[in-house]
Every structure is written in C-alpha cells, then in structure tokens.
Amino acid sequence: MKILIKVTREILEKSANCRSSKELGLNCAISLAVREIFPNAFTTREFILPNYPKSLYEALFNTYRYTHLYIDDVYPFAKISLPEKAIEFIEEFDLNDIEYRKNMNPISFEVDVPHEVIHSIGISDIYKILSESKTLELVNI
C-alpha cells in the first residue's frame, strides 16, 4: 500500500525543537507526521520504524549507527524505506536551527508500507485513519 506523507507547517512547528529532546527520532517531523497511523514510529535517516519498541531507543540513540545492517540487527520488524526526497529533508532539518526549521517548506512524499505493517494495524483501521488524517493520504492499494 502506498501512502502519501505530508510534513505540514504545523508539523514543522511541533518538531522544530526535536534535537534538544533525548527522543530525537521519536519527535522528528516525519515521525510526528505518521503518528496517527504509527503511534510508536521512530525515524532514522533511511527508514520509518513503524512499531518501534522503546526498549531499543537507547541502542540507536547512543550509537548513531543508522545503517541498513545495524537497523536490521536491532530492529527485525518491518520497516518503511524513505525516498531520497525525505532523506534530503531530514539532512536539511538536522543541520539547521529551530527558526530555520519552522520556516522550511512543507513537503510530501510517498512510501510503500509493507504488507506485514498493514496487517498488524488492520486494514479497516488504516482506511479510517487515512480518511480523517491531515498528514496522511492513501495513494493506492
């Protein structure tokens, strides 16, 4: 299932101060944009980890080893790959201060959500969330 994720002006405002938070990957703009459908989402530079167990947070936060291999080692669950546009957004966001982040242009991008993630949420719940969301939209099935 493809979903359009929208990082809105409101999301940019809410996430602008996330680097001062110890829960960096949990409170970044992309994590907040998908929170309705993935309440425990954690975002790295390459992935959205939709069902992120908080017990793994310290391992990721303390190492900064956001590589495919490391994520696969510590996070054996389904993950959502981010497109280049989102990766570039994260890099720009991370390199700048709070005021700059608040004034960044909102973006949107599509992701492929793996079947096992859809199944874990339930298709009827996904359709309901997507129909009511301001930051998420169904692209196709």
Q: What is the pLDDT of residues 4-62, one digit of tens each?
A: 999 999 999 998 887 654 445 567 899 899 988 888 888 888 888 887 665 555 555 54
117 inside domain? no
Q: Examine residue 18 and state whether it is found in any structural domain, yes or no.
A: yes
Q: How many domains does the chain have?
A: 1
pLDDT score recorded for residue 67: 44
Would residue 126 count as lying in a domain?
no
pTM of the model: 0.79
**Which tokens hold the place of 90?**
């994260």
User: Quick one: 84 exposed, middle or buried, by C-beta within 10 A (0-12, 13-18, 19+)?
Assistant: exposed
Beta sheet of 47-49, edge-to-edge order: 42-43, 47-49, 80-81
Residue 112 included in any domain? no
Q: Which domain holds residue 99?
A: 8-105
Confidence class for position 116, pLDDT limits 50, 70, 90: confident
Burial of 134 (C-beta count, 10 Å sphere; 0-12/13-18/19+) = exposed
In a domain, 74, yes or no: yes
Render pLDDT for 53-107 as a digit per residue (tens, 0 to 9): 655 555 555 444 444 445 555 555 778 999 999 999 999 998 888 899 999 999 9
Radius of gyration of the chain (CA): 14
For the four alpha carbons of 10, 44, 72 and 114, in that order, the dihedral sign comes to positive
CA dihedral 83, 87, 92, 98 (to 10 degrees): 100
Is residue 124 assigned to a domain?
no
